[in-house]
Amino acid sequence: MSRVNYANLLTFSRFITAPVYVWALWRHSPGWALGSMGYAALADFLDGWVARNICCTSDLGEVLDAAGDVFIFLTGILAGAFFGYVSWWPVAVLLSGGAVSAWGRMLYARKVGRAANYKSRPSEFLGGAAFALLLVYAVDFYTEYHTWVLALFTWWVAVRDVREIAALPPGQEVE
Amino acid sequence: MEHVFAYLMRFHHVGVEPAWRTDFWLVALSYNLMAIVFYGRRLIGDIRQRKAGNDSRPVNDAITAWKMGLLMFVLGWIPLIYHAVTHVMG
């Protein structure tokens, strides 16, 4: 199957929202920031739906989807700290938890022997909350509080997921 | 304790018009209510799967995850209520 398909194009279009979001934070334009993240959320929903119901689920699509989430979130949160919407401390704690989580997922991909993302309910919650964090940055809405809460949960989930992944026998995938 | 609360609840005054926050409060409220519906459906699905014995996760994933999700959700409401009391109604 071709790597260029509607689902992957939608996923790829999400990458473009990150520079728009950064520009919006720089220019203090909440409308553009909220709009760009609104599109990112819509495309995130649609690419999965298109892949499952119309065409083309693939390992590449799955990895691209996860990479898109990480890219948008990482760019957004760093821009938030850089432009003064939040202080660096909670951001550093949050990103270090994210790094542990990413390491766990690399461990999982190695265990199952292919480029697969480890999906767990807690990490799904974090995805929704991370998206909300970029929304609260857009309007400077209790950013310090939200970032600390998400940072603590990120560490909790990272440790939990890594323990689960470590307990899996080699080759076993979790659906 | 007061200092911690003040630190957590401060605004950064980076140039965002305060009116945006009041409008956004409604967006945040809607987002939370949508989350109840979206994750509520997932929870029902997880409970059904578990009852049917199809929970393949190694460490009782679904149910403990939901306790965590609930705590996260409750914490998410604190600034919403705080903003309602201090800015929307106040």
CB contact under 8 A, B28 and A83: no
CA distances, A46 to each of A10, A39, B75 (Å): 8, 10, 29
- Three-state SS for B77? helix
The CA distance from A78 to the nearest CA of chain B, in Å, is: 15
B→A contacts (Cβ < 8 Å), by residue, are 7-17, 20-21, 24-25, 27-28, 31, 35, 39, 42, 46, 56-59, 61-62, 65-66, 68-69, 72, 75-76, 78-79, 82-83
DSSP per-residue codes, B43-58: HHHHHHHHHTT----T
CB contact under 8 A, A121 and B46: yes
CB contact under 8 A, B20 and A146: no
Closest CA to A173 of A132, A120, A98, A102: A120
Which residues in chain B touch residue A157, judged by CB atoms under 8 angstroms apart? 68
**pLDDT for position B63:** 65
Count of residues in chain B: 90
Which residues in chain B touch residue A124, judged by CB atoms under 8 angstroms apart? 42
Ranges of beta strands (E only) in chain B are none
Decide if A116 touches B, using CB distance below 8 A. Answer: no
Which tens digit of pLDDT belongs to each residue from A142-151?
999 999 999 9
- The amino acid occupying position A37 is M
Report the complex ipTM: 0.83
Q: Kindly report the pTM of this predicted structure.
A: 0.86
CB contact under 8 A, A174 and B66: no
Confidence of residue A9 (pLDDT cuts 50, 70, 90): confident
Most confident of A157-166, B12-21, B59-68: A157-166
Which tens digit of pLDDT belongs to each residue from A30-71?
999 999 999 998 998 888 888 777 777 777 777 788 888 889
The CA distance from A3 to the nearest CA of chain B, in Å, is: 31
Residue of chain A nearest B18, judged by CA positions: A139
The token pair at B15 is: 């140039």
